[in-house]
Amino acid sequence: MFMRKVANDRVSRWSKRSPIVIGLINNMPDTALRGTERQFCALLSAASRDFLVRLKLFSLDEIERSETARAHIARYYDDLRELEEDPPDGLIITGAEPRARDLKDEPCWSGLSRLADWTRDNAISTIWSCLAAHVALLHADGIKRYPMESKLSGVFECQFSSSAHDFTNGTPSKWFVPHSRYNGVCEDELSSRGYSILSSSPATGADIFVKHDNGPSFFFQGHPEYDSAALLGEFRRDIGRFLRCELERYPDMPRGYFDGCLEAELEKFRERASANRNPELLHDFAAIVPESSLQSPWLPTAMRIYANWLSFLSEQRSRRIDQSNHFFVDAEPLRRLA
């Protein structure tokens, strides 16, 4: 889906047959960097049956990286400054693991705020994910995130709005979607500031919502891009932190994710881990849950949502090309006469 970048690699933007260019600004930590690339590559590939899609990778400079991650980014990612020189047709901006109580103290605050201004001023349709969505909401409209009593983690049933919207055209009335976050935003506050809620549930609050500025901009508090093992990896990571005494409390099991038999086995493991906080126990955890046993029932609906977005981007690009070609003058005959 993406290739090693090469100098002067430019796809002609003046042909309706050229790919839709999507920029993925990947702000996930080093441990999740490549997994996030794979997840979005797989989802866009599955959603793009009717379109050619080219994915360009970016990351904020403010995020601290290991030497290995910096080498990977240098090889496969483009410089953010290229966004202004050659804007993509659409952007996906990921969140990051929360680090600060105050959102403005997050390392990515300034970079994401600049992106929010740039996408609005340049009418780039953008998908904002999780923490990136919270930054964009606070920066643009003063909507604050609020901390939850405990981490919201699991697969939750959400209801789509009865109001028709092209972004959710062809989706079922309900879907099960992963959420993994410590913070949320108030639905009433979103509505009062012009956001339309497209999907929600009592457990998650607003799941997907949209604001029609120049873009429009779409916001996900959930993670429809997750593969079947993503929540398992996060749960295992948090258990490791507990066993190393980096977390005081054993992490809650993701809700609606494991079947009853696995939940029973994982509860036994929790009792062992709580009695003996030994990092070596993490090896036993890996044997309890085979990744092949996990399902991802949200992916067909996620594919439909992203296919709808790609269709919108394709229509917008065709309109821009038609408008540009209306004023285009072929200078080649003039050069031959000179």
CB-count burial class (<10 Å; 0-12, 13-18, 19+) for 124: buried
Residues 100, 120: contact at Cβ < 8 Å? Answer: no
pLDDT band of 330, cuts 50, 70, 90: very low
What is the band of 25 on the pLDDT scale with cuts at 50, 70, 90?
very high
**What's the length of the chain?**
338
280 catalytic per annotation: no
Q: Which of 37, 106, 225, 234 is catalytic?
A: 225
Residue 84 pLDDT: 86
pLDDT digits (tens, 9 = 90+) for 269-303: 999 999 999 999 999 998 998 888 899 999 999 99
Q: What CATH class is the domain 20-226+297-319?
A: alpha beta
**CA 192 – CA 189 distance, rounded (Å):** 5
- Is the pTM higher than 0.75? The answer reads yes
Q: Annotate 16-31 with b (16+ C-beta within 10 A) or e (fewer).
A: eeebbbbbbbbbbbbe
Annotation marks residue 245 as catalytic? no
CB atoms within 10 A of CB 98: 16
Catalytic annotation on 223?
yes
Catalytic residue among 72, 139, 179, 223: 223
Listed in order, the ranges of the chain carrying CATH 3.40.50.880 are 20-226+297-319
**How would you class 202 by CB atoms within 10 Å of its CB: exposed for 0-12, middle for 13-18, buried for 19 or more?**
exposed
Q: Is the pLDDT of residue 49 over 90?
A: no
**328 pLDDT exceeds 70?**
no
83, exposed or middle or buried, with CB in 10 Å at 0-12, 13-18, 19+?
A: buried
Beta-carbon contacts of 148 under 8 Å, excluding residues fewer than 6 positions away, are: 181, 182, 183, 184
What is the DSSP-derived secondary structure letter of residue 18?
A: S
In tens, the pLDDT along 52-97 reads: 999 999 999 999 999 999 999 999 999 999 998 999 999 999 999 8
Over residues 98-112, mean pLDDT: 94
Catalytic residue among 130, 139, 158, 179: 130
